[in-house]
Amino acid sequence: MNITLQNIGRRFNREWIFRGVDYTFENAGKYAVLGSNGSGKSTLLQVLNGSLGPSEGIIKYFDGGKEIEAGAIFNSLSLAAPYLEVIEDFSLNEMIDFHFKFKPFKAGMDNNAVADLLNLEGSRNKLIKYFSSGMKQRLKLALAFCADTPILMLDEPTSNLDTQGIDWYLNLIEKFSDGRLTIVCSNQEHEYSFCNKRLSVADYKPRPVGA
């Protein structure tokens, strides 16, 4: 799966967040989208995954030589992000079952395997609203990693994770990111150290008038 950006820009009101992005995310590549807090990393990721439209430019998705409509790209991607909500009135079992009605499991995974991966065998009927922020983040990551999609998008993936949780995340990267176009938005090197391609949002900031 490839994502091609042609002169992409996004603005809110009259302020351009980024502009003039010409870039191709290639099949099975590992990409880091870098920038300080508030720089527009998450906005760019939302443009990439189709939840925000660009203010200018063209974004195209290709599976092999076949172009995929932007409105259908959600079928091909998995996302974990701090602003992505889980359904708090679901139990862990119900949340896993619900998620995988829309995305297929990766080979060898099922409801039990996802719960085992989370080390929450004893909490499968516990409501998610009683989970800690760290466990909610682990759940978001597990759902994204264990879905069989060609694109994996991660925004600040170790938010709310302790040192043990960071090691757990890095283990998921090793096990579940091979062969997938993986895009990580981050300003913390441990989150994207495995990425061999980097895109800095600062490179696409419009210059002030007169600069």
pLDDT the model gives residue 38: 87
The parent domain of residue 123 ranges over 2-204
In contact, 198 and 31? CB cutoff 8 Å: yes
Q: Which residue has the higher pLDDT, 71 or 200?
A: 200
Structure tokens at 7: 């002169």
Residue 210 domain-assigned (yes or no): no
Predicted local confidence at residue 211, as pLDDT: 46
What percent of the chain shows pLDDT beyond 90?
Answer: 89
Total domains present in the chain: 1
Does residue 29 fall inside a structural domain? yes
Q: Look at 176 and 71; give whichever has higher pLDDT.
A: 176
- DSSP string covering the chain, please? -EEEEEEEEEEETTEEEEEEEEEEE-TT-EEEEE--TTSSHHHHHHHHTTSS--SEEEEEEEETTEEE-GGGGGGGEEEE-TTPPP-TTSBHHHHHHHHTTTSPBPTT--HHHHHHHTT-GGGTTSBGGGS-HHHHHHHHHHHHHTB--SEEEEESTTTT--HHHHHHHHHHHHHH-TTSEEEEEES-HHHHTT-SEEEEGGGGPPPPTT-
What does the alpha-carbon distance between residue 185 and residue 163 come to, in Å, rounded to a whole number? 19
Asked whether residue 211 is assigned to any structural domain, the reply reads no
Here the CATH number for the domain that contains residue 56 is 3.40.50.300
The reply to whether 186 falls in a domain is yes
Contact 143, 106 (CB under 8 A): no
Query: Is the pLDDT reported for residue 208 higher than 70?
Result: no
Q: Assess if residue 62 is contained within a domain.
A: yes
Quick one: average pLDDT of 4-25? 95
Is residue 209's pLDDT more than 60? no
Is residue 209 situated within a structural domain?
no
